[in-house]
């Protein structure tokens, strides 16, 4: 029972579903590493909070004007697993950044909530390839 509780906790805090690999076995006991967020996890949570904030602004009829430049760290932030970035990952990073910037483009012709949803859908697309755990949470960011 205790074992299952720990696994559930580890999975819950890591966001992705594959952190059990980080456990080590000492004298037959399984030792669970304390979850330490990676640079990428921290960045992702900032991206989540920012989008939650601007969703509210957009619903209130405001237009966000400042693209947070630290989002460009998506190209370099260290990942929690020793995965290297493949071409798909890079492609999704660029598409996401482009679309997230477009929300703040005051010359854009398309509707702001449409541009916002395009960016959020790119979060989801990348997550489908890399890390499916947070998808239900990300979907709540969409403007219906």
Residue (38 or 73) nearer to ligand HEC, CB: 38
Burial code of 77-109, b = ≥16 C-beta within 10 A, e = fewer? eebbeeeeeeeebeebbeebbebbebbbeeeee
Exactly one of 23, 45, 56, 70 binds ligand HEC (CB under 6 A); which one? 45
Measured distance CA(69)–CA(101) in Å, rounded: 9
Residues 6+ apart with CB under 8 A from 106: 63, 65
Q: Shortest gap between Cβ of 19 and ligand HEC (angstroms)?
A: 8
Task: Determine the 3-state secondary structure of 24 from DSSP.
Answer: strand
| 17 counts as binding ligand HEC under rule CB under 6 A | no
Exactly one of 58, 64, 80, 103 binds ligand HEC (CB under 6 A); which one? 80
Stretch that binds ligand HEC, among 9-17, 23-31, 56-64, 101-109 (CB under 6 A): 9-17
Residues 6+ apart with CB under 8 A from 46: 68, 70, 71
Q: Shortest gap between Cβ of 37 and ligand HEC (angstroms)?
A: 6
Q: Shortest gap between Cβ of 107 and ligand HEC (angstroms)?
A: 22
| 48 counts as binding ligand HEC under rule CB under 6 A | yes
């Amino acid at each position: 029972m205790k074992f299952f509780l720990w696994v559930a906790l580890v999975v819950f805090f890591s966001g992705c579903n594959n952190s059990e690999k980080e456990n080590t076995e000492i004298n037959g006991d399984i030792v669970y590493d304390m979850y330490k967020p990676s640079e990428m996890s921290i960045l992702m949570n900032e991206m989540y909070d920012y989008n939650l904030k601007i969703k509210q602004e957009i619903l209130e009829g405001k237009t966000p004007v400042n693209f947070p430049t630290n989002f460009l760290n998506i190209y370099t932030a260290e990942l929690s697993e020793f995965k290297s970035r493949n071409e798909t990952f890079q492609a999704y990073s660029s598409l996401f950044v482009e679309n997230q910037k477009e929300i703040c483009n005051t010359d854009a012709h398309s509707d702001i909530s449409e541009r916002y949803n395009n960016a959020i859908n790119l979060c989801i697309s990348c997550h489908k390839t890399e890390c499916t755990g947070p998808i239900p949470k990300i979907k709540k960011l969409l403007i219906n």
